């Protein structure tokens, strides 16, 4: 459930801060015409954001101590705590990011009748924000008992699959872990799930030399026999929590508490301080994440397939296909990109038809592609300080560039490598990095321009080389993009 405790005005200001440059036109019969535009005012760095989050937390600490001192009838100590809180509130007022909101109104004759520019500060200070992955696991539907793998069937298994850790089988397994200031803290449901960034490792020594000899990950060896029950990720979500300090409201409570103390009204001051502490905004929501569920089901499908249990592998693959379809419908996958769904459906048909050549490697490749798209979807989830930043064009371009670099890594790891496809994906990454460089010029700090030049130089070197890019170089390129995305 989504819990909001914001006034309409606060929501309007938050929307203005979030959207960046936008134009809104009054509708209806055109007697008057209104234009509202927004652009960044004061912009702060991620380091500043951390300091402000800590300062907002300390405000609450001082208010709580002031209330405690008043309950002990120590008004002087309470006044000292309130003075400390006021110092921090002043610091927050003077350093929060702002947005310049320009409003213009034209008459029917086309003449400008009104023009005003106002600098609007952020209404709230993010203290803590978390974003955690949650999966809901259930028993597979009416599957027949598993049987021992047939030797002929087992012979075609060409790579090990990542093990599904036992802890991951518990629904809603872990509580969210806090990230001060709202930096993305994505955590899997109680388990260390293989990342799309996993180091490139050789596959099992028993695999044929020509069978996907290099992969993006190496999971543990599959179990010798199937488990008695199967688990499917029926649903998954991103659980979002945020704790914000409402700056203006907190200031009003503190001012009222100080006035009550000056008049010797300690009980009224306690009430005001309790109001300030109770006014902290907690927002929580479950955000749909079908790609997360698909990724988990593909992990399970790999494990079952490697163990020779085709029935359960197909069941998990069917579940993943449904979730990829849902992701497409929700726009979690780039528009008009049906590659994931087509690959999954074609793979399912091959398994059903008994075509076993390289299916294990293709399952693993599909898992990496789904993990890449899930990573992209999470990166677009803005919360905490991210929703107050004015870096949307730069942030978007970096996310899309990273996606294409990830896809290039996946295709490079195939044997034989799809050289033309890798080159095409790296060229797409270059297009987005060029867009990022243009957007970085408008960054008030200009901090990313130098970093982007380094990233572009590395990518251009890969494109100009005669040889196929090696996994290590692609991994380093992606790591640079990860760091740039985190900063923006």
CATH of the domain at 117: 1.20.120.1940
Average pLDDT over residues 37-54: 87
The domain that contains 461 carries what CATH number?
Answer: 1.20.120
Question: In sequence order, what are the residues at sequence separation of 6 or more whose Cβ sits closer than 8 angstroms to the Cβ of residue 177?
Answer: 130, 132, 185, 187
In whole angstroms, how far apart are CA 237 and each of 183, 399, 445? 18, 21, 35
DSSP state of 141: S
Number of domains within the chain:
2
Taking 70 as the threshold, does the pLDDT of residue 181 lie above it? no
What is the tens place of the pLDDT at every residue in 400-425? 999 999 999 988 887 666 788 888 99
3-state secondary structure of 79: helix
pLDDT range class, residue 6, cuts 50, 70, 90 = very low
d(CA 240, CA 179): 12
CB contact burial 284-299 (16+ within 10 A = b; e otherwise):
eeeebbbbbbbbbbbb
pLDDT range class, residue 231, cuts 50, 70, 90 = low
Domain that holds residue 279: 8-126+241-284
Residues paired with 98 in a beta bridge: 121
Taking 60 as the threshold, does the pLDDT of residue 197 lie above it? no
Q: Which of 258, 284, 310 is the last residue of a domain?
A: 284
Phi and psi at 225, nearest 5°, equal -140, 160
Contact 422, 404 (CB under 8 A): no
Segments in 353-446 forming alpha helices (H):
359-379, 392-413, 419-441
Q: How far is CA 258 from the centre of its chain?
A: 41
Which H helix or E strand runs over 8?
helix 8-19
Average pLDDT over residues 39-64: 90
pLDDT range class, residue 444, cuts 50, 70, 90 = low
Average model confidence (pLDDT) across the chain:
75
The answer to whether position 401 is within a domain reads yes
The answer to whether position 246 is within a domain reads yes
pLDDT of residue 133: 76
d(CA 95, CA 93): 6
Average pLDDT over residues 440-464: 79
Maximum CA pair distance of the chain? 89
121 and 246 housed in the same domain = yes
The answer to whether position 429 is within a domain reads yes
The answer to whether position 477 is within a domain reads yes
246 and 118 housed in the same domain = yes
Q: Which of 232, 252, 284 is the last residue of a domain?
A: 284
The answer to whether position 98 is within a domain reads yes
Q: Look at 98-107, 149-158, 220-229, 442-451 and tell me which has the smallest mean pLDDT.
A: 149-158
Contact 117, 236 (CB under 8 A): no
What is the CB neighbour count within 10 angstroms for residue 82? Answer: 24
Q: Which of 284, 301, 318 is the last residue of a domain?
A: 284
Contact 233, 193 (CB under 8 A): no
pTM value is: 0.64
115 and 260 housed in the same domain = yes
What is the CB neighbour count within 10 angstroms for residue 98? Answer: 18
The answer to whether position 457 is within a domain reads yes
Taking 60 as the threshold, does the pLDDT of residue 387 lie above it? yes
pLDDT range class, residue 469, cuts 50, 70, 90 = confident
120 and 245 housed in the same domain = yes
Q: Look at 112-126, 161-175, 245-259, 382-396 and tell me which has the smallest mean pLDDT.
A: 161-175
By C-alpha distance, which of 450, 366, 356, 331 is closest to 152?
356
Contact 172, 189 (CB under 8 A): yes
By C-alpha distance, which of 331, 293, 323 is closest to 188?
293
The answer to whether position 488 is within a domain reads yes
The answer to whether position 222 is within a domain reads no
């Amino acid at each position: 459930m989504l819990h909001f405790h914001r006034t309409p005005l606060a929501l309007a200001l938050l929307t203005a801060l979030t959207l960046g440059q936008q134009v809104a036109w009054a509708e209806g019969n055109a007697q008057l015409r209104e234009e509202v535009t927004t652009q960044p005012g004061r912009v702060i760095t991620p380091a500043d954001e951390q300091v402000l989050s800590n300062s907002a937390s300390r405000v609450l600490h001082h208010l709580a101590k002031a209330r405690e001192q008043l309950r002990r009838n120590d008004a002087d100590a309470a006044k000292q705590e309130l003075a400390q809180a006021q110092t921090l509130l002043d610091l927050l007022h003077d350093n929060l990011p702002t947005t310049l909101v320009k409003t213009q109104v034209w008459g029917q004759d086309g003449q400008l009748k009104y023009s005003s520019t106002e600098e609007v500060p952020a209404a709230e200070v993010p203290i803590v924000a978390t974003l955690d992955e949650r999966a809901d696991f259930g028993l597979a539907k009416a599957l027949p008992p598993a049987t021992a793998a047939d030797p002929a069937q087992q012979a075609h298994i060409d790579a090990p699959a990542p093990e599904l850790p036992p802890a991951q089988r518990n629904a809603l397994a872990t509580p969210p872990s806090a990230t001060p200031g709202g930096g993305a803290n994505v955590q899997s449901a109680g388990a260390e799930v293989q990342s799309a960034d996993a180091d490139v490792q050789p596959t099992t020594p028993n695999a044929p030399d020509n069978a996907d000899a290099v992969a993006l990950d190496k999971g543990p060896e599959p179990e010798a026999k199937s488990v008695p029950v199967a688990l499917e990720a029926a649903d998954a979500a991103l659980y979002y929590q945020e704790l914000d300090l409402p700056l203006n409201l907190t200031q009003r409570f503190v001012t009222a508490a100080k006035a009550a103390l000056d008049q010797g009204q300690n009980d009224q001051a306690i009430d005001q301080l309790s109001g300030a502490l109770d006014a902290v905004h907690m927002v929580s929501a479950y955000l749909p994440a079908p790609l997360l569920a698909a990724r988990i089901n593909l992990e399970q499908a790999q494990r079952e397939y490697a163990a020779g249990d085709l029935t359960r592998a197909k069941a998990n693959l069917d579940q993943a296909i449904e979730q990829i379809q849902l992701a497409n419908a929700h726009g979690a996958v780039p528009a008009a990109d049906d590659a994931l769904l087509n690959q999954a459906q074609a793979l399912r048909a091959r398994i059903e038809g008994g075509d076993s050549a390289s299916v294990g490697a293709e399952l693993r490749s599909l898992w990496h592609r789904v993990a890449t798209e899930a990573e992209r979807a999470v990166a677009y989830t803005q919360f905490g300080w991210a929703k107050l930043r004015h870096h949307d064009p730069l942030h978007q371009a970096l996310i899309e560039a990273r996606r294409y670099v990830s896809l290039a890594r996946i295709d490079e790891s195939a044997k034989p490598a799809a050289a033309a496809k890798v080159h095409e994906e790296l060229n797409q990454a270059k297009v987005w990095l060029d867009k990022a460089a243009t957007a970085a010029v408008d960054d008030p700090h200009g901090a990313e321009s130098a970093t982007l030049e380094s990233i572009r130089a590395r990518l251009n070197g890969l494109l100009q080389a005669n040889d196929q890019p090696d996994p290590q170089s692609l991994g380093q390129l992606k790591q640079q993009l990860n760091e740039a995305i985190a900063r923006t």
